[in-house]
Amino acid sequence: MDIKKIEDGFRLILEGLGENPNREGLLKTPERVAKMYSELLSGLDSKENEKDILATQFVEKYDEMILLKDIPVTSICEHHFLPFTGVAHVAYVPGNRIAGLSKLARAVDFYAHRPQVQERLTTQIAELIHRSLEPQGVGVVMECVHTCMTIRGIKKTGSVMFTSKLIGTFKSNATTRAEFMSLIGKR
């Protein structure tokens, strides 16, 4: 990530807005904005490989659902570069292997920390778990508020976008799907 280019670019934005980037209140703003983007979009600069996210696995005979719900999510909408925030609910029914719960949250962060759309983010998380653990099924539901819709444009404050990706038994078995939705509080 080129922090200097981000700073220079934001100075141009300030000038384009008719602001003086050299006035006292804005002197360090380009630097702060560059640091903010490097943090929020750290996935673009990550040395971590997606194969490493769920690499720590344990052989375990467990054939019931494993669910980590209410995982905080913050990402940047790639269309307007405004944040969207909310929670992800991630579940799977193991095959022969399980992963530590923190690894599920790590999978969410790995993909969230780059310019995104919620639909793709939901799918990427589910498919990574499916590829890495080879479970009987995976379910991911995300609930997010998009500031590109709540503070600009149509300005529909309070709107929440839901996306889901269901694989294997979560898609084919109505009972598994219903249990998942019940556990996350959705019917």
Boundaries of every domain in the chain? 3-40, 55-183
Identify the active-site residue in 80, 127, 130, 134. Answer: 80
Is residue 79 among the annotated active site residues? yes
pLDDT digits (tens, 9 = 90+) for 28-58: 999 999 999 999 999 998 788 888 999 999 9
Taking CA atoms, 176 is separated from 23, 72, 138, in Å, by: 59, 24, 10
Identify the active-site residue in 118, 136, 143, 144. Answer: 118
Identify the active-site residue in 7, 136, 146, 179. Answer: 146
Is residue 148 among the annotated active site residues? yes
Instruction: Give the per-residue pLDDT at 134.
Output: 96
Q: What is the CATH number of domain 55-183?
A: 3.30.1130.10
Is residue 118 among the annotated active site residues? yes
Is residue 78 among the annotated active site residues? yes
User: Burial, 19: exposed, middle or buried (Cβ in 10 Å; 0-12, 13-18, 19+)?
Assistant: middle
The architecture in CATH of the region 3-40 reads Orthogonal Bundle (1.10)
pLDDT digits (tens, 9 = 90+) for 60-116: 999 999 999 999 999 999 999 999 999 999 999 999 999 998 999 999 999 999 999
Rounded to whole angstroms, the Cα distance separating 22 from 27 reads 5
